[in-house]
Structure 1
């Protein structure tokens, strides 16, 4: 399988190079030249498979040119053996035909573990094979950073530099990153917001001269195709658990960077019957404003109780725009260059096609807290604020009550005690046993100004072989 850039000017690459490259040389994102497609009969035959074996069935077509089957199976077995639930992604019922899929049973209590536990093993495999060293540079709005550090900290061939917005992630999220010890782990708190961090990462991938030609950057953000690939699997898992593929499913996805819901869109294109995909956002609602009014316009970023979605530039949206424009890279490049300068819209027929693919909703902090409280009072089940936004959006946008609605439960509520407190509940979510001493662990991070040159200078000075 070959991978092509959404902006049409970078060379097509194989999986190994896409894994290590992250951002394409033309500034675009890599996508498969073509997708595998599974028949209903084939999907049906996967019922009852353990999660790791299902992951093999779904993902192997994307990597088969680069990794032998037995090696990939071993990676997947190791990846999902560290999750705290035998089902890996268990379903919890909230109401008639309404479910939450718990994606926070990994080591860092967030859905990012599904991809980043695998990404660390993929990087180790490829880098050992090539006898190559890389510098991981990533930006996080809260959960990616800890999942990336946990997934990659044992990798012998990487140094890790994670940027997070200073004082704009929850304390649990910050401590999960900054208390992991290792000479190859570096946390940078940027005096800005997530979009500032993400912009620095993209600029650095576009011009890596600050590394002096001695190494290259590798991506852990969802600009890395391997992240998207791994997230496709749990859509199949949820469907098979509830009667798919013989009945269609609906999914509501809390999302800021569009990667998690793009994986659902791909699952549908690969043959999984999905009747509805709901984009659930907070006050930073650029995706909802586009879907509801065909206007892609950046507003001032706001700090909310759901910080992992405090994002205004949704990187993975470019991958959808590529499909909406008939995979015309030049058209995507032109649109995004105009979007950087002001509001843009797309042709009406393209927008109407997007509306057929997705519904959307934006949920404010008060409604988020109301939802957390209501679900707890109804079910004694505690939602984190991101999942609460997903549940509320699912209920507001639901097209057909006969179709199972599954909200992706993206994080453990213990990561966001402030939101639980503001909901008026007296219950205090507890961290799992392996994190019980989190607030006693020593922290280590560096605060830097909102300056790409300062961040690049820090990385150039501190990576292992600098």
Structure 2
């Protein structure tokens, strides 16, 4: 299995294709694009049948080995089994089995329609990001040990990526983590979960701005190739290909657990701001998983919903980005979206480069087919099964109340966005699976507003906000950020 950049052309062809291990520790390709396999591996019906009863770790191995063909299978299997254990994913709700890793819960069934919630938040930071990040930490440590090398991870978070990365990388030999987050724009729980870490290899940086300012700095540093090489910069954001691959696994798991034969189809509704989570679903579908629809659920920052309704991709400036009660989706530039557009335009790298250059210079592009637009590919979106919807704060509150009343569980704000949009897209004969984003405890302020009482917390998280916090506050200044990184890497 080899990989190419979404922006590869004649001038950069010498940099492609590459193998999995070559791109594991990085983020953006040297030409500014994102890596994708030269072709998606295909899964047969016989394989799906054989995988139905596999434990999660074995299923992860079967899928990962299709992408990481340059890693010895025995090593890859050991890494999967080290990662996906009941001890790591121990925060299951009452009635769920930690050994299932991503247990399903049927919320409602009737009139041929079925709504299912797939739990993805049983890991150490109570968010779906743990599903990939725990594997990434083990993969990074494995690869660095092979080379006796050092890696300085530079990433950005709107809430959950940061803590998942830090918990996965804390204490890992040869790894330091520099994590940006928007100052005072995460929930109190999310903030404490990151900033309370005292490990010497963890550096938390609160940026005076919004998430997109943080993400822009990560991209700027990644595009400074001499600095990136000297400071040994890597990334764990969803632009990292290995993280996307790890997320592909739970789509297969959800499908196999919700069906009894390969003749059945399911749809997935995915709360999404950065397009990384649902991009993994797109890849699973391209591999042959019988997915009917992939439904993007956004909050008030509805850049993705606007595109899938109209064909217009229009990013917002920082001042136009809303600070909402589902803050992990307060994103107006979907960094993984380029991977889907690459497929949508027929894997034309020159076209992809031109479109995303226009994003940088003019704030977006228009594929609706109307005169004056940038193309007419929007009609092809249906071929890939995408639909979308939007949820607001009032929708969120109502959904949290309804789910608590009707199903007896308390969901987080992002999952509420997903359930609200999923109900609008239920179809007879097709099971709808909503991917859980996080446990409700991470967004207690809104749970208290919706239900009048606090969300239940797993053991060990009772007083996390009271712990001492260690972080620095910095402006959204790339040069100052580079100086801070360089002064702390020891290189």
TM-score over 0.5 for the alignment? yes
Counterparts of 1:63 and 1:55, CA distance in 2: 12
> What is the alpha-carbon distance in structure 1 between the residues aligned to residue 447 and residue 485 of structure 2?
37
**Is 1:252–1:390's contact at 8 Å kept on the other side of the alignment?**
yes
Residues 288-345 of structure 1, C-alpha deviation per residue, up to 9 Å, x if partnerless? 1011011111231100000000000001100000001111111011111112213421
Measured after TM superposition, the shift of residue 220 of structure 1 is 0.3
Alignment pair present for 1:91 and 2:104: yes
Residues 415, 435 of structure 2: 8 Å contact kept: yes
Match status 1:220 vs 2:236: yes
Which residue does the alignment assign to 1:416? Answer: 443
1:386 aligns with: 414
Of 26, 32, 46, the residue aligned with 1:27 is 32
CA contact (8 A) 1:145 1:177 kept: yes
Match of 1:260 among 253, 277, 284: 277
Aligned to 1:457: 483
Q: 1:314 aligns with which of 324, 331, 334?
A: 334
Instruction: Write the deviation string for residues 153-202 of structure 1: whole angstroms up to 9, x where unpaired.
Output: 12211111000000001111111111112111100000000000000000
Deviation of residue 420 (structure 1)?
A: 0.9
Moved more, 359-368 or 11-20: 11-20
| Local SS of the residue matching 1:235 | helix
Q: Paired residue for 2:363?
A: 342
Cα pair 1:414 1:430 within 8 Å, conserved: yes
- Residue 71 (structure 2) pairs with residue 70 (structure 1): no
Residue 114 (structure 1) aligned to one of 125, 128, 131: 131
Name the residue aligned to 1:134: 151
Unaligned runs of 5+ in 2: 91-97, 370-375
**Partner secondary structure for residue 458 of structure 1:** helix
Q: Give the Cα separation in 1 of the matches to 2:268 and 2:257.
A: 14
Residue in 1 that maps onto 2:93: none
Q: Are residues 1:353 and 2:380 paired?
A: yes
Once the two structures are superposed, the pairs formed by residues 66-465 of structure 1 within 5 Å of their partners are 67-81=71-85, 82-84=88-90, 85-96=98-109, 97-210=114-227, 214-243=230-259, 244-299=261-316, 300-340=320-360, 341-346=362-367, 348=369, 349-356=376-383, 357-398=385-426, 400-423=427-450, 425-463=451-489, 465=490
Contact 2:217 2:476 in 1 (8 A): no
CA contact (8 A) 2:192 2:464 kept: yes
Q: CA RMSD in A?
A: 1.3
Q: 2 CA distance for matches of 1:284 and 1:206?
A: 26
Cα distance in 2 between the residues matched to 1:70 and 1:404: 36
Q: What's the secondary structure of 1:372's corresponding residue?
A: helix
- Whole-Å separation in 2 of the counterparts to 1:224 and 1:214: 20
Q: Do residues 61 (structure 1) and 66 (structure 2) align?
A: yes
Give the direction of change, closer, same or farther, for the CA distance of 1:422–1:437 in structure 2 (3 Å limit): closer
Asked whether the equivalents of residues 92 and 99 of structure 1 are also in contact (C-alpha less than 8 Å), the reply is yes
- Using the alignment, how far apart are the partners of 1:45 and 1:29 within structure 2? 32
Give distance in 2, aligned partners of 1:225 and 1:343. 24
Q: Is the CA contact 1:368–1:388 (under 8 Å) kept in the aligned structure 2? A: yes
User: With structure 1 as the length reference, what TM-score do the two structures score?
Assistant: 0.97
Question: CA-to-partner distance for each residue in 1:123-152, whole Å, 9 max, x for gaps?
Answer: 111111011111100000000000000111
1:208 Cα offset (Å) = 4.4
**Which stretch of the first structure deviates more once superposed, 200-209 or 432-441?**
432-441
For the residue of structure 1 that corresponds to 2:295, the secondary structure is: strand
Q: How many residues align?
A: 461
Alignment match, 1:41: 46
Displacement of 1:347 in angstroms is 5.7
Query: CA–CA distance in 1 between the matches of 2:164 and 2:139?
Result: 15
CA distance in 2, matches of 1:149, 1:309: 20
Q: Is the 8 A contact 1:254 1:281 kept in 2?
A: yes
In 2, are the aligned partners of 1:239 and 1:245 still within 8 Å (CA)? no
Shift of 1:8: 1.3
> In structure 1, the residue corresponding to 2:380 is in which secondary structure?
helix
Local SS of the residue matching 2:61: helix
Matched residues in 2 for 1:98 and 1:427: separation? 26
TM-score normalised by the chain length of structure 2: 0.92
Unaligned runs of 5+ in 1: none
- Does the CA-based 8 Å contact 2:312-2:368 persist in structure 1? no
